[in-house]
């Protein structure tokens, strides 16, 4: 079945540690996105990539890093520089970039910093 | 800067009645709008969309209305079913720019 997978579903991290969230899609989509969801707020864009080996910062990129070495994969690293990393993280993809395509979302990863 | 706002965090309706979820936006450049539905522990899934050249789009029990002058859109679900209970997000965008999402409205449909 085609879709987006995120792993792990739950992740715990100690303060000061970097952690990488996985996102894989087999939809042959060009564009991939990382969002963060906090209670009472909409999905906020962290990073996005419209093509392999290229990515752009979203609204809240500080403290995060990404790579896009393969079309299928768009891992997100939450670094120790992120002041408030506890949140629900969603990965999404679209056939190609832009606003006129529906986004397909993964199931999300809930990160808790202890 | 919240360009897309869903001012009602929750809504409760009786099964069989109409559910109306509202969304307001501030950026007049937005010309494409989508609604997503999210169940607990799952990612959002696309529900219905509308472009700014229309004022209504219908898909089965779901209808989205767009009022460009008021910068307002709404999602109507008729008749509502218990399986519709979920969080609904509206999103807006234009050209090749990022989508902007609202905070979501939790709909509960009571049997």
Query: Mind listing the pLDDT tens digit for each residue in A68-102?
Result: 999 999 999 999 888 899 999 999 999 887 667 88
Residues of B in contact with A9 (CB under 8 A): 41
Q: Across the interface, do A99 and B43 touch by the CB < 8 Å criterion?
A: no
CA distance B35 to chain A (A): 9
Q: Across the interface, do A99 and B99 touch by the CB < 8 Å criterion?
A: yes
Q: Distance (Å, rounded) from C-alpha B49 to C-alpha B68?
A: 15
- Tally A–B CB contacts below 8 A: 66
Task: Residue B87: count other Cβ atoms within 10 Å of its Cβ.
Answer: 19
Unique residue bearing structure tokens 């008021």: B70
In terms of Cβ atoms closer than 10 Å to its own Cβ (0-12, 13-18, 19+), residue A112 is exposed
pLDDT at B41: 79
Identify whether A74 is preceded by a cis peptide bond (ω within 30 of 0): no
Give every CB contact of residue B84 below 8 A, 6+ residues apart in sequence: B19, B77, B107, B109
Are residues A34 and A90 in contact, defined by beta-carbon separation less than 8 angstroms? yes
Give residue-wise pLDDT tens across range B37-78.
Answer: 999 878 899 999 999 999 999 999 999 999 999 999 999 999
SS3 B107: strand
Strand A10-13 and strand A31-37: the pairing is unpaired
Q: Across the interface, do A99 and B45 touch by the CB < 8 Å criterion?
A: no
Residues of A in contact with B91 (CB under 8 A): 43
């Amino acid at each position: 079945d085609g879709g987006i997978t995120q792993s792990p579903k739950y992740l715990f991290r100690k303060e000061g540690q970097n952690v990488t969230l996985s996102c894989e899609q087999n939809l042959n989509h060009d564009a991939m996105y990382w969002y963060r969801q906090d209670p009472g707020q909409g999905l906020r864009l962290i990073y996005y990539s419209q093509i392999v080996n290229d990515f752009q910062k979203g609204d809240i990129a500080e403290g995060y890093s990404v790579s896009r070495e393969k079309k299928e994969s768009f891992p997100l690293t939450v670094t120790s520089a992120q002041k408030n990393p506890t949140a629900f993280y969603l990965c999404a993809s679209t056939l190609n970039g832009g606003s006129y395509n529906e986004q397909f979302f993964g199931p999300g990863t809930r990160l808790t910093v202890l | 800067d919240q360009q897309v706002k869903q001012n009602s965090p929750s809504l409760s309706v009786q099964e069989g009645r109409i559910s109306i979820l509202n969304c307001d936006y501030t950026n007049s450049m937005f010309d494409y709008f989508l609604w997503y539905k999210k169940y607990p522990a799952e990612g959002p899934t696309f529900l219905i969309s509308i472009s700014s050249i229309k004022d209504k789009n219908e898909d089965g029990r779901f209808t989205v209305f767009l009022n460009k002058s008021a910068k307002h859109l709404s999602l109507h679900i008729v008749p509502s079913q218990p399986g519709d209970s979920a969080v609904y997000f509206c999103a807006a965008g234009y050209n090749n720019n990022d989508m902007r999402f609202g905070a979501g409205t939790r709909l509960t449909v009571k049997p």
